[in-house]
Structure 1
Amino acid sequence: MNRTATALLAVAIAAAGLTACGSDDKDSSKPAAKTPPPAAAPSTPISPPPPGKPLASAKAKNGIPPKPDAATQAKYIRALNAISSAIVNGKEDRAVSRGRDTCGTIHSFPKDHAKQVDTTRQRFSGATQFSNDQAEKILAAVQTHLCPKN
């Protein structure tokens, strides 16, 4: 704590103590003002985690795979375009990101296929709404190309 804050806190405590001591019987029904204890300063500064590793590790624990290599991504995009050209719609990075997130859903709900399909349908729908049948096919493409271990 810096010196100014310490001095102000000491003055506040002293003033509260003097006020409590100097009261007469009329004011005795009011409790003395309490000041909160000073907050303890952290003993060591908190530094942000190093970039990359912790985030990648957290994603891996949640079933989200790393970005695919170019060949895998190309196969995945072809599979999606075979279902509907509106899925990718020229935004390959977005399609890959949504697919990787879908791997996380598969990981989180391994025994709930209906939830996987519904979440996939919602995640990939936007201006174009996809049916459950299309979502099933999208989910299969994701599992085949982005997260075959799930």
Structure 2
Amino acid sequence: MNTRIAAPLIVVGLLVGLTACGSSDDDKAAAAPGRTVSEADRDAARKAAGLPEEPSAHDRYAFLEALDAIDPRISKADMDERSVSRGLNQCGSIRTTKDRAKLIELTLERFTIATRLPDINNADTGGKILDAVHKHLCPDF
């Protein structure tokens, strides 16, 4: 895997791990509120990974509406949260990859269009999703 793509994924994985409860079986059984990551630390880790901040409610809604305009099955097959998460991860690729054809390929893979919606698995759909991600989730990238 390309290290420019892997770095954001590693940081996101670390964020997930850091927000989990303790490391021993006894700790996992009991909630450990003191072991959660602060929002500031989470934002700093996202920034270090090249990912944008969590979108505002307005931007999140606009992104999901844009996906629905492309094909309602894209976001309906996922929970909305998963679609937004996939979009935010795609922002990391937008930041590090300038080749549009490669970005479209990554978009189709990230949104699992080939396996879930093979009838729209094409560059046109991938480009539209990519443009929606860029416009609504990471316009400064």
Give the TM-score normalised by structure 2. 0.65
Counterpart selection for 1:100 from 72, 88, 97: 88
Between the two proteins, the alignment pairs up a number of residues equal to 102
**CA–CA distance in 1 between the matches of 2:85 and 2:46?**
12
Give structure 1 stretches of 5+ with no counterpart. Answer: 1-47
Taking only aligned residues, the RMSD between alpha carbons, in angstroms, comes to: 1.9
Q: Which amino acid aligns with 1:137?
A: K
Higher relative contact order (CA 8 A, sep 6+): 2
Q: CA deviation at 1:139?
A: 0.3
Give structure 2 stretches of 5+ with no counterpart. Answer: 1-34
Partner residue, 1:140 = 131
Q: CA deviation at 1:92?
A: 0.8
Q: Percent identity?
A: 34
Give the TM-score normalised by structure 1. 0.61
Runs of 4+ in 1 over 3 A off after TM superposition: 48-55
Residues 120, 138 of structure 1: 8 Å contact kept: yes
Q: Which amino acid aligns with 2:108?
A: R
- 1:1-150 matches, cutoff 5 A: 51-89=38-76, 91-109=79-97, 111-125=98-112, 126-129=115-118, 130-150=121-141
Indicate the SS of the match to 2:116: coil
